[in-house]
Amino acid sequence: MTLHADYDPDNIFAKILRGEIPCIKVYEDDVALSFMDVFPQSEGHTLVIPKRANARNFLDMPGNELGSYMQRVQKIARAVEAGLQPDGLVVTQFNGAPAGQTVFHLHFHIIPRWEGEALGRHAGGGMASAETLEPVAARIRAKL
Ligand code: 5GP
């Protein structure tokens, strides 16, 4: 029942939120943190997580906090589009392990797509270096 379990405060995104694990940051305010996915499915694969510490998935998020969080998701999606100029953009999230979720702190994926370029495997491709991710993040940040 990965859809309905207690929030694990030691999940990897909680550690990133607490600054215990580094990330290539794109944006941060009191509502959300955005950073580069370290196993990107395409160049510019970005994640947006709510700062609220105990929402494992979309179903857990209180409705009255969803609007401000989704505004951040859209804000980052617009910056990814403006900074990287992809042909398309996937905005998605997974709820529960059978649906594909691997980290149990709510997050939206923003995945740029280019015509003719295949999508990398979800949470299973190669790990990108900070040197690779940082200049991409800088292009996104420049449009925020
Ligand atoms: P999910 O599978 O839960 O929808 O997405 C989790 C995402 O987090 C995956 O796309 C995976 O590549 C990414 N991820 C896993 N561990 C780390 C990490 O330590 N740092 C970053 N930046 N991303 C991670």
User: What's the mean pLDDT in 63-91?
Assistant: 97
Per DSSP, what are the bridge partners of residue 112? 89
Reduced to 3 states (helix: H, G, I; strand: E, B; else coil), residue 110 is: strand
For residue 67, the one-letter residue type is G
Q: Does ligand 1 lie within 6 Å of residue 23's CB atom?
A: yes
State the SS3 of 10-59: CCHHHHHHCCCCCCCEEEECCCEEEEECCCCCCCCCEEEEECCCCCCCHH
Q: What is the pTM of this model?
A: 0.97
User: What's the mean pLDDT in 14-35?
Assistant: 98
Reported as a single tens digit per residue, the pLDDT across 97-132 is: 999 999 999 999 999 999 999 999 888 778 999 999
User: What's the mean pLDDT in 45-56?
Assistant: 93
Share of the chain above pLDDT 70, in %: 99
CA of 123 from ligand 1 middle (Å) equals 6
> Whose C-alpha lies nearest to ligand 1, atom 10?
123
For residue 4, the one-letter residue type is H
Mean pLDDT estimate for the chain: 95
Residue 97: both structure tokens together: 């392990």
pLDDT of amino acid 122: 87
Q: H or E element: which one contains 69?
A: helix 63-84
Pocket test for ligand 1, best of 18, 35, 47 (most atoms within 8 A of CB): 47
pLDDT of amino acid 1: 54
- Of the candidates 119, 107, 118, 40, the one whose C-alpha atom is nearest the C-alpha of residue 76 is 107
> Where in the sequence numbering do the catalytic residues fall?
107
Residue 53 has pLDDT above 80, yes or no: no
* Residues 109 and 37: beta-carbon distance below 8 Å: yes
Pocket test for ligand 1, best of 13, 23, 39, 76 (most atoms within 8 A of CB): 39
CA of 38 from ligand 1 middle (Å) equals 7
Q: Report the C-alpha gap between 140 and 144 in whole angstroms.
A: 7
User: What's the mean pLDDT in 15-36?
Assistant: 98
pLDDT of amino acid 2: 77
- Which domains are delineated in the chain? 12-141 (3.30.428.10)
Q: Report the C-alpha gap between 73 and 26 in whole angstroms.
A: 12
pLDDT of amino acid 125: 78
